[in-house]
Amino acid sequence: MKEAILAVDIGGSKYMTGLIRPDGTLLAKERKTWTEYTQPLIRSQLLEAVSDMLGAHPDVRVIGGGVTIPGLADPQSGVWVSTEFMGIKNYPIARDLEKVFGLPFYIENDGRACVLAERYFGAGRDCDDYLYITVSNGIGGGLFLNGKLHRGATGNAGEIGQCVVVENGRVSEDGTAGTLEMYAAAAGLVQNYLEAGGRRRIDGKAPDGASIAAMAAEGDPAALETFRLEGCYLGKAIAALHNVLDLKKVILGGGLSLAFDLYRDTLLETVRAQTYKRPYPSPEILATPLGYEGALYGAAALVLHCE
């Protein structure tokens, strides 16, 4: 009988379940969209999705489950501490799932789970010092230092999206001005495009990361400028962290990592220009090889990491 890990990736708009073998083989996956944000309904949808995944594969022996959390998580207690926009507060999700399905479950913030995904399945397998950045609707990340996941004093290490890249710039909801997230996450990228003279409608729809990337691939000047800026902003933050941490690699994940070719050159130029001139190379910077399933692999990596 095949062995596999049950992986659950909880996102803001969708959730995914999957079965992944310890060697990284993806046996099955299912993507669903939330019907409503309340803690009881989120719980019932997750239980149904997990039950459906297990029921559809009776020939697989599941050795454990991992869950990625979009917000504050306490891995030690297995509690989903909070995700305000989803109405979650102190939900003991690991214990709940263990009781229902009779399997050990492990949880972690999605950014830090993706750090482990790279270590076990992706670009971090041969590296003891790297930064993982997820660039999507928000910007988060995590650190793998000296061969270990680095959580920091309060469990929030690696939140590169809160680095300031524009003095007195756009103000976030918490009142911080000029953060990387405000300029290089999806909403910031769209605003950059419009400020560069881009179109307010592309094929009849409001612009988003995918449509702006398509315009850039066709040579649209505003879209090309948008991705030049994307590389500059990300490069500033990466250079600052590398100057402090001496990283070997930086791995980019999230939806905007799929457009990495459009801003790679500017990003690398910015990092080289703003990095302390050591007598050895700048960090290798690359997009994750795990693609859209990075967080799902992160959930699986939690089980391997805790064994």
Distance, in Å, from the CA atom of 103 to the CA atom of 170, rounded to the nearest integer, reads: 45
DSSP three-state, residue 280: coil
What per-residue confidence (pLDDT) applies to 201?
95
Q: Which element (helix H / strand E) includes 150?
A: strand 148-150
Distance, in Å, from the CA atom of 129 to the CA atom of 119, rounded to the nearest integer, reads: 10
Q: What is the pLDDT of residues 143-193, one digit of tens each?
A: 999 999 998 998 888 989 999 999 999 998 889 999 999 999 999 999 999
CATH classification (class only), 2-116+293-306 = alpha beta
CATH superfamily of 126-288: ATPase, nucleotide binding domain (3.30.420.40)
Q: What is the pLDDT of residues 81-101, one digit of tens each?
A: 998 888 899 999 999 999 999
What per-residue confidence (pLDDT) applies to 168?
94
Partner residues linked to 82 by β-bridges: 72, 89
Give the start-to-end residue ranges of the domains of the chain: 2-116+293-306, 126-288
Taking residues 28-50, what's their average pLDDT?
94
* pTM of this prediction exceeds 0.85: yes
- Is there a common fold for 2-116+293-306 and 126-288? yes
Task: Read off the tokens for 29.
Answer: 């996956």
What sign for the dihedral angle of Cα 115, 179, 210, 15?
Answer: positive
Distance, in Å, from the CA atom of 185 to the CA atom of 102, rounded to the nearest integer, reads: 39
Distance, in Å, from the CA atom of 62 to the CA atom of 15, rounded to the nearest integer, reads: 20
Label residues 249-287 b or e (16+ Cβ within 10 Å = b): bbbbbbbbbbbbebbbebbbebbeebbeeeeeebbebeb
Mean pLDDT computed over every residue of the chain: 94
Nearest to 16 by CA among 78, 92, 68, 85: 68
Q: Which residues contact 203 (CB under 8 A, 6 or more apart)?
A: 211
Partner residues linked to 253 by β-bridges: 134
Partner residues linked to 30 by β-bridges: 17
Q: Compute CA distances 268 → 14, 16, 158, 235, 237, whole Å.
A: 32, 33, 20, 7, 12
Residue 307 — very low, low, confident or very high, per pLDDT cuts 50/70/90? low
Comparing 223 with 37, the larger pLDDT belongs to 223
Whether 290 shows a pLDDT value over 70: the answer reads: yes
Distance, in Å, from the CA atom of 151 to the CA atom of 55, rounded to the nearest integer, reads: 35
Residue where the block lists tokens 């997990």:
50
Q: What is the pLDDT of residues 18-33, one digit of tens each?
A: 999 999 999 999 999 9
What per-residue confidence (pLDDT) applies to 127?
96
Q: At what angle do helices 221-245 and 260-274 cross, to 10 degrees?
A: 40
Partner residues linked to 60 by β-bridges: 2
If phi > 0 it is left, if psi is from -120 to 50 it is alpha, else beta; for residue 117 that is alpha
Distance, in Å, from the CA atom of 229 to the CA atom of 120, rounded to the nearest integer, reads: 32
| Inter-residue contact 253 to 114 (CB < 8 Å) | yes
